[in-house]
Copies of this chain bind each other. A is one copy, B any other.
Amino acid sequence: MKEPVRIAIVGATGYTGGELLRLLLQHPYVKVVHVTSEQSSETPLTDRLPFLGGRYNLILESFHPDKVAKKSDLIFMALSHTESMEAVRTLVEAGKKVIDLSADYRLRSPGTYEKWYGLRHSQPSLLKSAVYGLTEIYRSNIAQGCLIANPGCYPTGALLPIYPFLKAGYLDTTREIIIDAKSGISGAGRMPTGKTHFAEAHEAMVAYNVGAHRHLPEIEQEIYRIAGRRGTTLFTPYLLPVNRGILTTVYLPLNRKLSQKKLESTLDIYRDEPFIRRVAGSPNLAHVKGSNFCDISVFATASDRMAILMSAIDNLVKGAAGQAIQNMNVMMGWDERLGLMAPGFFP
Protein backbone atom coordinates (compact mmCIF):
# COMPACT_ATOMS: atom_id res chain seq x y z
CA MET A 1 0.00 0.00 0.00
CA LYS A 2 1.46 3.30 -1.08
CA GLU A 3 1.30 6.33 1.11
CA PRO A 4 -1.80 8.33 0.28
CA VAL A 5 -1.38 11.67 -1.43
CA ARG A 6 -1.93 14.38 1.16
CA ILE A 7 -4.71 16.78 0.33
CA ALA A 8 -5.44 20.24 1.66
CA ILE A 9 -8.70 22.10 1.14
CA VAL A 10 -8.45 25.83 1.51
CA GLY A 11 -11.89 27.24 2.32
CA ALA A 12 -13.37 23.97 3.47
CA THR A 13 -16.66 25.02 5.04
CA GLY A 14 -18.56 26.23 2.00
CA TYR A 15 -20.73 23.96 -0.11
CA THR A 16 -17.89 23.24 -2.54
CA GLY A 17 -15.56 22.39 0.31
CA GLY A 18 -18.15 20.09 1.81
CA GLU A 19 -18.63 18.35 -1.50
CA LEU A 20 -14.89 17.84 -1.96
CA LEU A 21 -14.75 16.30 1.50
CA ARG A 22 -17.71 14.05 0.76
CA LEU A 23 -16.26 12.77 -2.50
CA LEU A 24 -12.64 12.43 -1.40
CA LEU A 25 -13.70 9.96 1.29
CA GLN A 26 -14.39 7.57 -1.54
CA HIS A 27 -11.03 8.05 -3.23
CA PRO A 28 -8.57 5.22 -2.62
CA TYR A 29 -5.32 7.12 -3.10
CA VAL A 30 -5.73 10.32 -1.13
CA LYS A 31 -6.21 11.56 2.40
CA VAL A 32 -7.44 14.98 3.40
CA VAL A 33 -4.99 16.16 6.01
CA HIS A 34 -5.53 19.89 6.24
CA VAL A 35 -8.62 22.07 6.07
CA THR A 36 -8.83 25.82 6.46
CA SER A 37 -11.45 28.37 7.29
CA GLU A 38 -10.88 31.94 8.33
CA GLN A 39 -14.20 32.34 10.10
CA SER A 40 -14.12 29.03 11.92
CA SER A 41 -10.48 28.34 12.61
CA GLU A 42 -9.80 26.22 15.71
CA THR A 43 -13.24 24.64 15.26
CA PRO A 44 -13.78 20.95 14.49
CA LEU A 45 -14.59 20.58 10.81
CA THR A 46 -17.71 18.59 11.54
CA ASP A 47 -19.16 21.35 13.71
CA ARG A 48 -19.49 23.35 10.52
CA LEU A 49 -20.36 20.37 8.31
CA PRO A 50 -22.26 18.01 10.63
CA PHE A 51 -23.26 15.69 7.79
CA LEU A 52 -19.60 14.56 7.80
CA GLY A 53 -19.71 13.65 11.50
CA GLY A 54 -18.07 10.29 12.13
CA ARG A 55 -16.09 10.54 8.93
CA TYR A 56 -13.57 13.31 9.64
CA ASN A 57 -11.67 14.26 12.72
CA LEU A 58 -9.94 17.41 11.50
CA ILE A 59 -9.72 20.84 13.08
CA LEU A 60 -10.18 23.87 10.85
CA GLU A 61 -7.17 26.17 10.69
CA SER A 62 -6.39 29.61 9.35
CA PHE A 63 -4.92 29.60 5.89
CA HIS A 64 -1.15 30.10 5.68
CA PRO A 65 0.23 29.20 2.27
CA ASP A 66 3.59 28.07 3.64
CA LYS A 67 1.97 25.79 6.14
CA VAL A 68 -0.32 24.33 3.53
CA ALA A 69 2.63 23.77 1.20
CA LYS A 70 4.45 21.94 3.93
CA LYS A 71 1.61 19.72 5.00
CA SER A 72 0.10 18.69 1.70
CA ASP A 73 0.93 17.47 -1.79
CA LEU A 74 -2.09 18.74 -3.68
CA ILE A 75 -4.31 21.64 -2.79
CA PHE A 76 -7.90 22.41 -3.67
CA MET A 77 -8.48 26.15 -3.37
CA ALA A 78 -12.16 26.78 -2.62
CA LEU A 79 -11.99 30.47 -1.75
CA SER A 80 -14.05 33.26 -3.23
CA HIS A 81 -12.96 35.08 -6.32
CA THR A 82 -9.94 37.37 -5.87
CA GLU A 83 -8.92 35.60 -2.67
CA SER A 84 -6.82 32.87 -4.29
CA MET A 85 -4.72 34.91 -6.62
CA GLU A 86 -1.64 35.54 -4.49
CA ALA A 87 -1.63 32.40 -2.44
CA VAL A 88 -1.69 30.17 -5.47
CA ARG A 89 1.71 31.45 -6.52
CA THR A 90 3.30 30.47 -3.24
CA LEU A 91 1.89 26.99 -3.53
CA VAL A 92 2.90 26.51 -7.15
CA GLU A 93 6.37 27.82 -6.46
CA ALA A 94 6.67 25.30 -3.66
CA GLY A 95 6.15 22.64 -6.31
CA LYS A 96 2.64 21.73 -5.28
CA LYS A 97 -0.18 20.85 -7.60
CA VAL A 98 -3.03 23.29 -7.24
CA ILE A 99 -6.63 23.09 -8.39
CA ASP A 100 -8.26 26.47 -7.97
CA LEU A 101 -12.05 26.39 -7.89
CA SER A 102 -12.35 30.17 -7.91
CA ALA A 103 -12.45 32.27 -11.06
CA ASP A 104 -9.01 33.76 -10.52
CA TYR A 105 -7.16 31.75 -13.14
CA ARG A 106 -9.94 31.02 -15.62
CA LEU A 107 -9.79 34.08 -17.83
CA ARG A 108 -6.63 34.09 -19.91
CA SER A 109 -6.70 37.82 -20.47
CA PRO A 110 -5.78 39.93 -17.44
CA GLY A 111 -7.76 42.75 -18.98
CA THR A 112 -10.92 40.69 -19.17
CA TYR A 113 -10.38 39.59 -15.59
CA GLU A 114 -10.03 43.16 -14.44
CA LYS A 115 -13.11 44.23 -16.35
CA TRP A 116 -15.35 41.55 -14.83
CA TYR A 117 -13.88 41.17 -11.36
CA GLY A 118 -12.92 44.78 -10.73
CA LEU A 119 -9.34 44.02 -9.76
CA ARG A 120 -6.02 44.05 -11.55
CA HIS A 121 -4.68 40.53 -11.91
CA SER A 122 -1.49 40.37 -9.88
CA GLN A 123 -0.09 37.18 -11.42
CA PRO A 124 -0.21 37.58 -15.18
CA SER A 125 2.68 35.21 -15.84
CA LEU A 126 1.25 32.46 -13.67
CA LEU A 127 -2.08 33.04 -15.40
CA LYS A 128 -0.44 32.07 -18.67
CA SER A 129 0.55 28.70 -17.37
CA ALA A 130 -2.80 27.88 -15.80
CA VAL A 131 -4.85 25.21 -17.57
CA TYR A 132 -8.60 25.57 -17.95
CA GLY A 133 -9.91 22.41 -16.38
CA LEU A 134 -12.80 21.35 -18.56
CA THR A 135 -11.62 17.79 -18.45
CA GLU A 136 -13.26 16.36 -21.53
CA ILE A 137 -11.82 19.11 -23.71
CA TYR A 138 -8.42 19.85 -22.22
CA ARG A 139 -7.46 16.50 -20.80
CA SER A 140 -3.94 16.38 -22.20
CA ASN A 141 -3.11 19.89 -21.03
CA ILE A 142 -4.49 19.10 -17.61
CA ALA A 143 -2.25 16.05 -17.43
CA GLN A 144 0.77 18.32 -17.79
CA GLY A 145 -0.48 21.16 -15.64
CA CYS A 146 0.53 22.33 -12.20
CA LEU A 147 -2.22 24.85 -11.78
CA ILE A 148 -5.72 24.01 -12.92
CA ALA A 149 -8.39 26.67 -13.15
CA ASN A 150 -11.47 24.60 -12.45
CA PRO A 151 -14.33 25.83 -14.67
CA GLY A 152 -17.37 27.67 -13.43
CA CYS A 153 -20.57 25.69 -13.02
CA TYR A 154 -22.47 27.50 -15.80
CA PRO A 155 -19.60 27.25 -18.31
CA THR A 156 -19.35 23.52 -17.64
CA GLY A 157 -23.06 23.00 -18.25
CA ALA A 158 -23.01 25.14 -21.39
CA LEU A 159 -19.72 24.21 -23.02
CA LEU A 160 -19.99 20.43 -22.80
CA PRO A 161 -23.07 20.19 -25.05
CA ILE A 162 -21.85 22.92 -27.40
CA TYR A 163 -18.33 21.61 -27.86
CA PRO A 164 -18.97 18.74 -30.31
CA PHE A 165 -20.86 21.07 -32.64
CA LEU A 166 -18.17 23.73 -32.59
CA LYS A 167 -15.51 21.09 -33.11
CA ALA A 168 -17.42 19.70 -36.08
CA GLY A 169 -17.60 23.15 -37.63
CA TYR A 170 -21.39 23.39 -37.54
CA LEU A 171 -21.70 26.72 -35.78
CA ASP A 172 -23.12 29.62 -37.75
CA THR A 173 -20.69 32.19 -36.46
CA THR A 174 -22.80 35.10 -37.62
CA ARG A 175 -25.70 34.52 -35.29
CA GLU A 176 -26.17 34.59 -31.55
CA ILE A 177 -25.70 31.57 -29.33
CA ILE A 178 -28.41 31.68 -26.69
CA ILE A 179 -27.84 30.02 -23.32
CA ASP A 180 -30.73 29.83 -20.89
CA ALA A 181 -29.47 28.20 -17.68
CA LYS A 182 -31.41 27.36 -14.53
CA SER A 183 -29.36 26.83 -11.40
CA GLY A 184 -30.10 25.41 -7.97
CA ILE A 185 -29.53 27.77 -5.09
CA SER A 186 -26.44 26.12 -3.63
CA GLY A 187 -24.69 27.75 -6.60
CA ALA A 188 -25.01 31.06 -4.79
CA GLY A 189 -22.90 29.80 -1.92
CA ARG A 190 -23.44 29.37 1.77
CA MET A 191 -23.58 33.00 2.83
CA PRO A 192 -27.16 34.03 3.66
CA THR A 193 -28.59 36.83 1.54
CA GLY A 194 -31.98 38.29 0.84
CA LYS A 195 -32.23 36.47 -2.48
CA THR A 196 -31.37 33.10 -1.00
CA HIS A 197 -33.55 33.42 2.09
CA PHE A 198 -35.88 30.42 2.11
CA ALA A 199 -39.18 32.27 2.09
CA GLU A 200 -38.00 34.52 -0.77
CA ALA A 201 -36.61 31.73 -2.94
CA HIS A 202 -39.14 28.98 -2.37
CA GLU A 203 -42.16 28.99 -4.65
CA ALA A 204 -40.20 31.56 -6.64
CA MET A 205 -38.07 31.83 -9.75
CA VAL A 206 -36.18 34.79 -11.07
CA ALA A 207 -33.49 35.52 -13.63
CA TYR A 208 -30.50 37.57 -12.51
CA ASN A 209 -27.54 39.35 -14.05
CA VAL A 210 -29.17 39.00 -17.45
CA GLY A 211 -26.40 39.38 -20.01
CA ALA A 212 -24.02 40.46 -17.26
CA HIS A 213 -23.04 37.33 -15.35
CA ARG A 214 -19.32 36.78 -14.73
CA HIS A 215 -19.46 33.36 -16.30
CA LEU A 216 -20.24 34.94 -19.67
CA PRO A 217 -16.64 35.96 -20.53
CA GLU A 218 -15.52 32.49 -19.53
CA ILE A 219 -18.00 30.91 -21.92
CA GLU A 220 -17.09 33.33 -24.69
CA GLN A 221 -13.38 32.74 -24.20
CA GLU A 222 -13.81 29.02 -24.70
CA ILE A 223 -16.12 29.35 -27.68
CA TYR A 224 -13.48 31.53 -29.27
CA ARG A 225 -10.70 29.07 -28.53
CA ILE A 226 -12.64 26.16 -29.97
CA ALA A 227 -14.41 27.80 -32.89
CA GLY A 228 -12.48 30.99 -33.45
CA ARG A 229 -15.69 32.94 -33.17
CA ARG A 230 -16.08 36.32 -31.58
CA GLY A 231 -19.83 36.63 -32.06
CA THR A 232 -22.42 37.34 -29.45
CA THR A 233 -23.49 34.94 -26.76
CA LEU A 234 -26.64 35.71 -24.81
CA PHE A 235 -26.51 34.19 -21.36
CA THR A 236 -29.52 34.21 -19.02
CA PRO A 237 -29.07 32.57 -15.61
CA TYR A 238 -31.89 31.86 -13.14
CA LEU A 239 -32.24 30.92 -9.49
CA LEU A 240 -34.23 27.71 -9.34
CA PRO A 241 -35.82 26.55 -6.08
CA VAL A 242 -33.82 23.35 -5.71
CA ASN A 243 -30.66 22.75 -3.73
CA ARG A 244 -28.55 21.32 -6.52
CA GLY A 245 -28.31 21.18 -10.26
CA ILE A 246 -28.10 23.24 -13.42
CA LEU A 247 -30.36 22.60 -16.38
CA THR A 248 -28.94 24.39 -19.41
CA THR A 249 -30.70 24.93 -22.71
CA VAL A 250 -28.69 26.18 -25.67
CA TYR A 251 -30.27 27.50 -28.85
CA LEU A 252 -27.46 26.91 -31.29
CA PRO A 253 -27.39 28.48 -34.77
CA LEU A 254 -26.13 26.03 -37.40
CA ASN A 255 -24.46 26.78 -40.69
CA ARG A 256 -26.21 23.89 -42.42
CA LYS A 257 -29.23 21.68 -42.10
CA LEU A 258 -28.64 18.72 -39.79
CA SER A 259 -31.06 15.87 -39.24
CA GLN A 260 -31.90 14.60 -35.77
CA LYS A 261 -29.78 11.58 -36.53
CA LYS A 262 -26.83 13.65 -37.61
CA LEU A 263 -27.18 15.88 -34.58
CA GLU A 264 -27.09 12.86 -32.33
CA SER A 265 -24.11 11.31 -34.04
CA THR A 266 -22.20 14.53 -33.53
CA LEU A 267 -22.24 13.64 -29.86
CA ASP A 268 -20.37 10.42 -30.65
CA ILE A 269 -17.23 12.33 -29.84
CA TYR A 270 -18.17 11.64 -26.23
CA ARG A 271 -18.66 7.94 -26.74
CA ASP A 272 -15.89 6.88 -24.39
CA GLU A 273 -16.29 9.61 -21.84
CA PRO A 274 -17.02 8.13 -18.43
CA PHE A 275 -19.00 11.10 -17.19
CA ILE A 276 -21.06 12.11 -20.20
CA ARG A 277 -24.35 10.37 -20.77
CA ARG A 278 -26.37 10.99 -23.88
CA VAL A 279 -30.05 10.83 -23.08
CA ALA A 280 -33.20 10.78 -25.17
CA GLY A 281 -35.61 13.61 -24.43
CA SER A 282 -34.81 16.25 -21.88
CA PRO A 283 -32.15 15.64 -19.26
CA ASN A 284 -33.54 15.83 -15.74
CA LEU A 285 -31.79 17.46 -12.81
CA ALA A 286 -33.10 14.65 -10.64
CA HIS A 287 -30.97 12.11 -12.48
CA VAL A 288 -27.59 13.76 -11.92
CA LYS A 289 -27.93 14.88 -8.30
CA GLY A 290 -24.82 13.94 -6.38
CA SER A 291 -22.99 12.51 -9.38
CA ASN A 292 -20.29 13.75 -11.71
CA PHE A 293 -22.39 13.03 -14.78
CA CYS A 294 -23.27 15.53 -17.43
CA ASP A 295 -26.43 14.33 -19.19
CA ILE A 296 -26.79 15.74 -22.70
CA SER A 297 -29.48 15.68 -25.35
CA VAL A 298 -30.00 17.39 -28.69
CA PHE A 299 -33.15 18.27 -30.57
CA ALA A 300 -33.64 19.18 -34.20
CA THR A 301 -36.16 22.00 -34.53
CA ALA A 302 -38.72 23.31 -36.95
CA SER A 303 -36.01 25.69 -38.04
CA ASP A 304 -33.51 23.94 -40.25
CA ARG A 305 -30.66 25.98 -39.04
CA MET A 306 -31.08 25.89 -35.30
CA ALA A 307 -30.63 23.03 -32.85
CA ILE A 308 -31.58 22.86 -29.21
CA LEU A 309 -29.02 21.36 -26.85
CA MET A 310 -29.70 20.55 -23.24
CA SER A 311 -27.55 19.44 -20.37
CA ALA A 312 -28.02 18.63 -16.72
CA ILE A 313 -25.22 18.64 -14.16
CA ASP A 314 -24.98 18.81 -10.41
CA ASN A 315 -23.46 22.25 -9.92
CA LEU A 316 -21.54 21.07 -6.84
CA VAL A 317 -20.13 17.96 -8.52
CA LYS A 318 -19.45 18.20 -12.26
CA GLY A 319 -19.85 21.97 -11.84
CA ALA A 320 -17.27 22.17 -9.06
CA ALA A 321 -15.90 19.53 -6.69
CA GLY A 322 -16.38 16.49 -8.89
CA GLN A 323 -14.69 17.98 -11.90
CA ALA A 324 -11.89 19.16 -9.63
CA ILE A 325 -11.32 15.59 -8.49
CA GLN A 326 -11.57 14.39 -12.08
CA ASN A 327 -8.83 16.88 -12.89
CA MET A 328 -6.74 15.70 -9.97
CA ASN A 329 -7.00 12.16 -11.29
CA VAL A 330 -5.82 13.30 -14.72
CA MET A 331 -2.95 15.31 -13.23
CA MET A 332 -1.85 12.34 -11.16
CA GLY A 333 -2.16 9.85 -13.99
CA TRP A 334 -4.84 7.88 -12.16
CA ASP A 335 -8.04 6.36 -13.45
CA GLU A 336 -10.19 9.40 -14.05
CA ARG A 337 -13.15 7.83 -12.29
CA LEU A 338 -11.57 7.32 -8.89
CA GLY A 339 -13.66 8.80 -6.11
CA LEU A 340 -16.40 9.56 -8.58
CA MET A 341 -17.87 6.15 -9.28
CA ALA A 342 -20.78 6.46 -6.87
CA PRO A 343 -23.91 7.24 -8.84
CA GLY A 344 -26.08 10.11 -7.77
CA PHE A 345 -29.02 9.74 -5.46
CA PHE A 346 -32.65 9.52 -6.46
CA PRO A 347 -35.06 10.73 -5.45
Of A60-68, A113-121, A207-215, which stretch is located at the interface? A207-215
Rounded to whole angstroms, the CA-CA distance of A227 and B236 in the bound complex is 27
Report A228-281 residues with CB < 8 Å from chain B CB.
232-234, 236, 238, 240-245, 247, 249, 251, 274, 277, 279, 281
Q: Which of A184, A207, A240 has the most CB of B within 10 A?
A: A207
A290-306 interface mask toward B, CB cutoff 8 Å, 1 = contact, 0 = none?
11010100010111001
CB <8 Å contact, B241 and A241: yes
Rounded to whole angstroms, the CA-CA distance of A183 and B13 in the bound complex is 28
A268 CB to closest chain B CB, in angstroms?
Answer: 16
CB <8 Å contact, A211 and B301: yes
Rounded to whole angstroms, the CA-CA distance of A284 and B240 in the bound complex is 11
- A302 contact from B15, B234, B279, Cβ within 8 A: B234
Q: A291-B51, A302-B234, A345-B22 are in contact. Are A251 and B286 (CB under 8 A)?
A: no
Q: Apart from A54-B293, A342-B342, what 6 extra A-B contacts exist at CB < 8 Å? A: A22-B342, A176-B251, A185-B199, A206-B282, A206-B285, A208-B281
CB <8 Å contact, B308 and A211: yes
Of A80-88, A138-146, A189-197, which stretch is located at the interface? A189-197
List chain A positions with a Cβ less than 8 A from chain B. 15, 18-19, 22, 25-26, 49-55, 176, 178, 180, 182, 184-186, 190, 192-194, 196-208, 210-211, 232-234, 236, 238, 240-245, 247, 249, 251, 274, 277, 279, 281-291, 293, 295, 299, 301-303, 306, 308, 310, 341-347
Rounded to whole angstroms, the CA-CA distance of A55 and B178 in the bound complex is 33
Rounded to whole angstroms, the CA-CA distance of A198 and B286 in the bound complex is 12
Chain B contacts for A25, CB-based, 8 A: 341-343
Rounded to whole angstroms, the CA-CA distance of A52 and B343 in the bound complex is 6
Chain B contacts for A55, CB-based, 8 A: 341, 343
A224 CB to closest chain B CB, in angstroms?
Answer: 14
Q: How many copies does the complex hold?
A: 4
**Selected A-B contacts with CB under 8 Å, 13 pairs:** A15-B347, A19-B345, A51-B287, A196-B198, A198-B202, A205-B245, A205-B285, A207-B310, A208-B282, A211-B299, A234-B303, A241-B242, A289-B345
Chain B contacts for A196, CB-based, 8 A: 192, 197-199
CB <8 Å contact, B18 and A346: yes
CB nearest neighbor in B for A242:
B203
Chain B contacts for A303, CB-based, 8 A: 176, 232, 234
